[in-house]
Amino acid sequence: MIKSLKSFTYLLVSVALLIGLQSEAFAAKKSKTLKNTIKKDFVRCGVSQGLPGFSNADAAGNWSGVDVDVCRAVAAAVLGDSGKVKFTPLSAKERFTALTSGEIDILSRNTTWTLSRDADIGLTFVGVNFYDGQGFMVRKDSGITSVNQFKNGISACTNIGTTTELNMRDFFNSKKITYEPVAFEKADEVVAAYDSGRCDTYTTDKSGLAAQRTKMKNPDEHIVLPETISKEPLGPVVRQGDSVWEDIVRWSLNVMIEAEEYGITSANADSMKTSENPQIKRLVGAEGELGAALGLGNDWSINIIKQVGNYGESYKRNISDTGILPNRGPNQLWTKGGLLYVPPAR
């Protein structure tokens, strides 16, 4: 009897504990993400497992890339230090679960903005930091120079869980070509499969093809075909339901693009404080109270520009100078014929 009494007590205690935990779950408050980020003193950012130019770690574990810079910009805006970011490398398959489950607070991992992702699975896309499109890579000696030369029975390697898989089907179906899709979980496995001749072509976003090409045994033996078969607007994603955090990430990215538009760079940001142009003064925090509207200090934007640089600097550092894509293409300011057009920060 005593024994069962004892186990009964244990049970009571564990039930009580469970109920206690339960009420914790109810205590969810608004803009938890910002509060938690300030408390932790670092931004939790999900990136790729290594895509040169977008998010790639060097031998010492330092991350760089245009996707990485979005997270650094948020850290500069919120915490005043672009270095306070904890990067979590994620596979295409893991990325959304990591974000919705609260393991990370920003997903900046060359992720395509689509309706179903935006609306259906508890995510919110905050903008576009790279306009991309899906393409194909083939071996140069194959003699293929256009997707129109693809024939029945071609095998195509790609990543699972990406829009690439869907676009590929649309493309081959519309061309009435039968094909063998071979889908791997990691980008490196896809590249290895293509490199070994398991697949005749490798398909993913064109920027990804250009970046992976630099990793190949012999980059000159491969070409990216000129055709683009889809629209792939890539951008950072946050969890649905925290509009304050969503605004912070959106405007951190927008500030980088607008700073380029107004010619503000990491080098001249301080001197721009005395500019005649009120919009420039607003962007460097010398006029107006833009930071307060986001719940941040007024130096949020100048911190981004000084520590991370404007969009053009980030692009040059990560994508042009590394030889991945020499030209800006559509990722040029609207004033110079590109697609980068952001709402005014005012």
Partner 1 sequence: MNSKKIKNYLPQILTLLTIILIFGFFTFNAQINMDNRGIDFGFGFLKQEASFDIQFSLIEYSGTDTYFRAYLVGLINTLLVSVIGIFFCTIIGVIVGIARLSPNYLVEKLATIWVEFFRNIPLLLQLFFWYYAALRALPLPKDAVNFFDISYLSVKGWYIPKFVWTNFSIFFYSVIVAAISIFFIYRFAKKQREETGKYVPAFLLSFLTIIIVPALTFLIAGVSLSFEYPVLSQMTKTIFNFKGGVGIPPELMALALALSLYTSTFIAENVRAGIMGVGKGQKEAAASIGLTTGQILKLVVMPQALRIIIPPTTNQYLNLTKNSSLAAAIAYPDLVLVFAGTAMMQTGRAIEIISITMLTYLTISLSISALMNWYNKKVAIKEK
Rounded distance between C-alpha atoms, residue 229 and residue 201, angstroms: 14
Select from 13, 166, 267, 292 the one that contacts partner 1 (CB under 8 A).
Answer: 166
Rounded distance between C-alpha atoms, residue 54 and residue 51, angstroms: 6
Say if residue 300 is exposed, middle or buried (CB neighbours under 10 Å; 0-12, 13-18, 19+). buried
Selected range binding partner 1 among 90-98, 283-291, 314-322, 326-334, rule: CB under 8 A? 90-98
| CB of 150 vs partner 1, minimal distance in Å | 8
State yes or no: residue 113 binds partner 1 (CB under 8 A).
no
| CB of 139 vs partner 1, minimal distance in Å | 7
Residues 33-52 contacting partner 1, CB under 8 A? none
CB 250 within 8 A of CB 127: yes
CB 146 within 8 A of CB 227: yes
Selected range binding partner 1 among 162-170, 244-252, 273-281, 295-303, rule: CB under 8 A? 162-170
For the chain, give me the number of helices (H) and strands (E)? 13, 14
| CB of 338 vs partner 1, minimal distance in Å | 30
- Binding string to partner 1 for residues 186 to 205, with x set by CB under 8 A, is what? ---x--xx--xxx-x-----
| CB of 314 vs partner 1, minimal distance in Å | 28
State yes or no: residue 20 binds partner 1 (CB under 8 A).
no
State yes or no: residue 11 binds partner 1 (CB under 8 A).
yes
Selected range binding partner 1 among 17-25, 65-73, 225-233, 327-335, rule: CB under 8 A? 17-25
Shorter beta-carbon distance to partner 1: residue 33 or 82: 33
Two tokens, residue 237: 């994603």
CB 278 within 8 A of CB 287: yes
State yes or no: residue 239 binds partner 1 (CB under 8 A).
yes
Q: Considering Cα of 152, then 157, then 158, then 161, what sign does the dihedral take? A: positive
Rounded distance between C-alpha atoms, residue 319 and residue 324, angstroms: 5
DSSP characters over 48-114 = -S-BTTTBEE-TT--EESHHHHHHHHHHHHHHS-TT-EEEEE--TTTHHHHHHTTS-SEE-SS-B--
Using CB under 8 A, list all residues that contact partner 1.
1, 4, 7-8, 11, 14-15, 18, 21-22, 25-26, 28, 92-93, 96-97, 100, 116-117, 120-123, 139, 141-144, 149, 151, 153-155, 160-162, 165-166, 168-170, 172-173, 179-185, 189, 192-193, 196-198, 200, 239-241
